[in-house]
Amino acid sequence: QVQLMESGGGLVQPGGSLTLSCVASGRPFEIALMGWYRQVPGKEREMVATITGTGRRNYADSVKGRFTISINNSEDTIYLQMNTLKPEDTAVYYCNLVGRVLGGSDFGTWGQGTQVTVSS
């Protein structure tokens, strides 16, 4: 079993910055895709940014040029650097991992979520 733990959310003023972290732990595994998604009440969860184990990145149009996703493979951790934050970025941010347990099967798992609030 693999678990995800997010950290780094909080309250920030418009134009400010935050960095989210997500660390994976548990059984040894190989990363296929890790990413950040966000959700506001009453709306579907949406992709923010994803990164493959080899470093290929993908971003939602709404965050391109403002957010940067990165990965530290040796620590099984991904980061989301969020700059020039806007009130519409307010959401619960979830970390997601799709991978394969070494010697085992494919899996997908979510973190518990971390609140990001952008407000003056």
Looking at the chain, how many residues does it have? 120
Residues 6+ apart with CB under 8 A from 117: 10, 11, 12, 90
In 3D space, the residue among 4, 3, 1, 30 whose CA is nearest the CA of residue 100 turns out to be 30
Q: Position 69: which residue type?
A: I
- Cβ(109)–Cβ(90) below 8 Å: no
Series of mean pLDDT values for 10-residue runs along the chain (120 residues): 94 98 91 95 97 93 97 90 98 96 91 97
